[in-house]
Amino acid sequence: MTFTYERKANYYETDMMGVVHHSNYLRYFEEARIAFMDSLGIPYKELEENGIMSPVLSVQCEYKRMVQFGETMLIKVSLIEYNGIRMKLNYEIVDKKSGKVTTRGITSHCFLSKNGRPVSLKNNMTEYHEKFLECLDKVSDNQ
C-alpha cells in the first residue's frame, strides 16, 4: 500500500540558489509519515497521548533532482517492515508536473515508552498493531 502526500515547496525552505535545502527533505518525510499513519487510523498524537513515542533510528536519503520554490511534490510513503516494536518506511518524492523522481529515502523507527523502554504495539496497542500488519499485508499482496 502506497500513501501519497502532496506538498508545495515553500520559499523559506530554499537556499540562495532557489533550491530546496537538503535538510528539509527529512521534514517532508516526517510530514508524510504522520499523514500516512493518520490515513491508517493510527494518529501519532494518540500514540503520544498513550505514552508511546516513535523516534527515528536511521535515515537514508538520495537526492536525484532539485526541487525549487513553488513546485508541487508528491511524497509517496510505504511501510516496508514492521514487527510490533520497529518499523521501516520507504519514501519517493516525485515532481507532480513532470512525474520525475526527485528524492528517495528510507527511515527506521522503534516504539518506546516515555521512559525510553521498548514498547510492543502487539501487547500494548493491539488495534494499531493490527492496522500496521494489515498495511504490510497489502504491500506483500501487491508484489
Question: What domains sit in the chain, N to C, each tagged with a CATH number?
Answer: 3-141 (3.10.129.10)
Instruction: Supply the pLDDT for residue 112.
Output: 97
CA dihedral 133, 104, 37, 39 (to 10 degrees): -100
Taken in order 67, 73, 79, 84, is the CA torsion positive or negative? positive
- 33-91 tens-digit pLDDT: 999 999 999 999 999 999 999 999 999 999 999 999 999 999 999 999 999 999 999 99
Instruction: Supply the pLDDT for residue 137.
Output: 80
Query: Is the confidence at residue 140, as pLDDT, over 70?
Result: no
Type and span of the H or E element at 141: helix 126-141
Q: What residues contact 113, with CB distance under 8 A and at least 6 apart?
A: 51, 52, 53, 119
Active site residues: 15
Instruction: Supply the pLDDT for residue 5.
Output: 98
Type and span of the H or E element at 47: helix 44-49
Q: What is the rounded distance in angstroms from the CA atom of residue 76 to the CA atom of residue 127?
A: 24
pTM: predicted TM-score of the whole model, two decimal places: 0.92
Burial of 34 (C-beta count, 10 Å sphere; 0-12/13-18/19+): middle
Query: Is the confidence at residue 141, as pLDDT, over 60?
Result: no
Reference 93, options 68, 70, 64, 69; nearest CA is 64
- 100-124 tens-digit pLDDT: 999 999 999 999 999 999 999 999 9
Q: In this structure, what C-alpha cell is assigned to residue 74?
A: 508528491
Q: How far is CA 118 from the centre of its chain?
A: 20
3-class state of residue 46 by DSSP: helix
Q: Where is pLDDT greater, at 139 or 132?
A: 132
